[in-house]
Homo-oligomer: A and B are copies of this chain.
Amino acid sequence: MADLLDAEAFVAVLREEGKKRYHDLHPFHVKMHAGALSRRQIQAWVENRYYYQTRIPLKDATVLSKSEDPAFRRRWIRRIHDHDGTLESEGGLAQWERLAAGVGLDVGRLRSHADVLPAVRFACDAYVTFVRERTLLEAVASSLTEFFSPDIMARRIAAWETHYPWVDGPTLAYFRGRVGRAKVDSEEAIAFVIAHASTRAEQDACVAALIRKTEILWALLDAVEARHPA
């Protein structure tokens, strides 16, 4: 059995394995930020990614249900509020619905998930299942894609404002909000996995969980691109 990595080496492995598989490298995503997607491709991404967004509070509630520590739960519960809001018009899901309206989608149809591609559904549901079936440590590790999120969000806002001027600026509020939140969330999550992965096998399981999560995000884009090729 390999030795336990020190915190710095462990984080370096997580960053390296995550970064090289992060979905900003996916061809469809590269095209999105290069301004090469059609209006319909943007819409398809928004309506399919919305299904992913709706799984997040369910996933986070499942994480909560796995923790015996009230202090952990008090921190993690903020993620559910971030997506659901405290009022109907607030929160990440409501912001995503405004983004959908801003790219010309019907919000009622969006909420019905009628246009979600089967492979997108399978991938997103697999994420919730993973979190339910694995340890709390692996569940938290799977959230570490947020490490890379502030950077991708900042680049996305700039790219969309440049290349897709037909999308109203205010509808990008979701991306703007995620820059700061993803930073806080990922710092909390990395502190947790450093503190709780106490064997090399557990560290390896954390890396595997992060890789699995990148596969889920990648599969989502594969499915959208296959159905809506350039």
Could you list which residues of chain A lie within 8 angstroms of chain B, going by C-beta atoms? Answer: 54, 57-59, 61-62, 64-68, 70-71, 73-74, 77, 80-81, 83-88, 91, 93, 132
- CB-nearest residue of chain B relative to A84? B70
Is A74 a contact partner of B84 (Cβ separation < 8 A)? Answer: yes
Is A93 a contact partner of B80 (Cβ separation < 8 A)? Answer: no
CA distance A88 to B69 in the complex (A): 11
| Min distance, Cβ A223 to any Cβ of chain B, angstroms | 21
| Min distance, Cβ A51 to any Cβ of chain B, angstroms | 11
Is B65 a contact partner of A86 (Cβ separation < 8 A)? Answer: no
Copies of this chain in its oligomeric complex? 2
Task: From B67, B68, B71, B84, give the contact of A73 (CB < 8 A).
Answer: B84
Q: Which residues of B contact A62 (CB under 8 A)?
A: 61-62, 65
Task: From B58, B70, B91, give the contact of A85 (CB < 8 A).
Answer: B70
Q: Which residues of B contact A81 (CB under 8 A)?
A: 77
